[in-house]
Each structure stands twice: as structure tokens, then as C-alpha cells.
Amino acid sequence: MRNIKLVVSYDGTDFHGWQVQPGYRTVQQVLEEAVAALTGESGVRVNASGRTDTGVHAVGQVVNFRSATRLEPAQLLRALNAHLPEDVRVLSVEDAPPGFHARFDARSKTYRYYIRNGPLASPFERQFVWHVPQPLDVDAMRQAASRLLGRHDFSAFRSSGTEVPDSVRTLHTSAVVETAGAVPWLVSTATTTPSASRCSSDAGSVLTYEVTGDGFLRHMVRAIVGTLVEVGRGWRDAAQMDALLQSGDRARAGATAPPHGLFLVRVDYD
């Protein structure tokens, strides 16, 4: 049996998350159905580096599965994509060592969360960006994000239902970047010179929260983003992040940010 590794990209809008759930459309389900249709093998289990929630997207999800297929990686790439719906694409295929496991061998993951901060959001952003129309103090958000770097107990950002008992994680990157204009992969809004008889609305800026860590708890990134937005709104001070971490109390952190602004960008291995 071969151990086959895939890098997969998907738009999570119409999926009920990654994991197979009876009666719901999930990414794992459609991938396993594509593998079964291609190889004729039943009971194939596709392992992912981590489970994404309903509405969360992935640019570089890593998965592996075992199969006796003799198709070469290039053939598998073409054939799998031919069997997959348009909101899922396999980006690469390779044979992995027999003991490789997409989840257990992962050393770090990188997520990005996108926020449109301005009075106007493009309709093309609505499935991929959280629109926050109120002005945000980006410098304060940056200060708060930097306080999360290093090894901490992230219980304060952990939703109930997390399967792992240990809530200590190490963050290597935790940064907020502000850029003007459209989200990079979306069509820019056409600009014209305003006339006296026309009023134009300012689209504001895009805030990207990028975080890299050795692991993440359930809803952890979204809870961090929700807390950072509260800092940006002036509802809490950036320096309070230290006490919040030490408290381990989820009730003291901010609301969980919506799922559609979150992307799993990259998974790194040794």
C-alpha cells in the first residue's frame, strides 16, 4: 500500500467543515468519495493536518491516505480534480514515507484572518472577509497580538469541545498587517474622480492577522481575532492580554470571530 500525500485548497463556504458528518457535506467526505471513485477502493480514510470548522477555508491543507493504486502522482492529480467539485482542488500529489501522518507529523501551521475595516465592503468579499465598519486602532491590535508570542496556556481562547487535554501551545508568529485597497486575490474596486453630484464611500483597509504555531485549539484563532478587534475598538487595553492568558478564562476573552475570514495557509513538516 502506498502512502499518498496531497496539498488541498478549498472554499469552505458550502461545507460543514472538514470532518465527515452524516447528513452534511464536508471536505473529507468529497475527497474520500473522489478517491473511492478513482481507485475503486472502499473504506479509504483521508487524514488531514487538522479539522477546519464550517465556513473556514484552506489554501494549503495537507492530507494523506493509503491506496494500492498504480497511478503516477501526475495522473492522480488530474484524475482526482476531475472527480472533485469546483470548490475543492488538489494542488499537489506525492508519495510519502510509509509512516507519514498529515496530522501527527505536522510541526507548525499558519493561519490568516482577513478583516475589512471601513464603511464599505465589496460584495465579492462577503464570503472571505469579516467586515468591521467601525474604525479600529491597528497599533493597539498589533501590541496585543505580539503579547501572545511564545509558549502559553491558551485556555482563555479555547472553546468547549476541544478533544486534546493539553491547552499549552507555542506561537512563533502573531502579527497584524494593514494594507490599503482590496483583498489581494479579489478584483480591486474601480476608482473614479468624485464629482460634485456624486458621493463615494471609502472602502477603508484590509487587516490581516497572521499566526503560526505548533498547534491550535478549537476556535482558538477566531477567539484571538475577536479579542483583537475589541482591543481595536477600545473596549479593552492591549496590556490586558497578559492577564487574560494567565486567567485561562474563556469568558474573559472576546467573542469568537466569524468563520468566513479564516484561512489555513500552510502546514510545515520536518
Q: CA angle, corner 64, sides to 37 and 153, nearest 5? A: 135
**Does residue 236 sit in the same domain as residue 196?**
yes
Examine residue 118 and state whether it is found in any structural domain, yes or no.
yes
**Does residue 117 sit in the same domain as residue 31?**
no
What's the pLDDT tens digit per position in 31-45? 999 999 999 998 999
Residue range of the domain that includes 70 = 2-96
d(CA 53, CA 19): 9
CA-based nearest residue to 227, from 126, 179, 127, 158: 158
**Does residue 225 sit in the same domain as residue 167?**
yes
Take residue 164 and report the three cell numbers written for it.
486534546
CATH number of the domain where residue 264 is located: 3.30.70.660
Average of pLDDT values for 192-202? 50
**Does residue 29 sit in the same domain as residue 83?**
yes
Residue at which a domain ends, from 96, 126, 152 = 96
**Does residue 44 sit in the same domain as residue 115?**
no
Is residue 223 predicted with pLDDT exceeding 60? yes
- Which neighbouring-strand residues pair with 111? 211, 264
Is residue 229 predicted with pLDDT exceeding 70? yes
Instruction: Characterize the bridge pairing of strands 130-132 and 106-117.
Output: parallel
Least confident of 122-131, 199-208, 215-224: 199-208
Position 184 scores a pLDDT of 59
Write the DSSP symbol of residue 122: -
What's the pLDDT tens digit per position in 126-182? 999 999 999 999 999 999 999 999 999 999 999 876 667 789 999 999 999 998 866
Average of pLDDT values for 51-57? 96
Examine residue 241 and state whether it is found in any structural domain, yes or no.
yes
Examine residue 101 and state whether it is found in any structural domain, yes or no.
no
pTM summary value: 0.92
Examine residue 113 and state whether it is found in any structural domain, yes or no.
yes
**Does residue 127 sit in the same domain as residue 149?**
yes
Position 160 scores a pLDDT of 76
Residue at which a domain ends, from 42, 62, 96 = 96
**Does residue 65 sit in the same domain as residue 148?**
no
Is residue 187 predicted with pLDDT exceeding 90? no
Examine residue 121 and state whether it is found in any structural domain, yes or no.
yes
Residue at which a domain ends, from 42, 63, 96 = 96
**Does residue 186 sit in the same domain as residue 61?**
no
What's the total number of domains in the chain?
Answer: 2
CATH number of the domain where residue 83 is located: 3.30.70.580
**Does residue 183 sit in the same domain as residue 154?**
yes
Examine residue 265 and state whether it is found in any structural domain, yes or no.
yes
Q: Band of the pLDDT at 204, cuts 50, 70, 90?
A: confident
Annotated catalytic residues are 53
**Does residue 150 sit in the same domain as residue 216?**
yes
The region, left, alpha or beta by phi > 0 then psi within -120 to 50, assigned to residue 163 is alpha
Write the DSSP symbol of residue 36: H
Q: Kindly report the average pLDDT of the chain as a whole number.
A: 92
d(CA 89, CA 8): 6
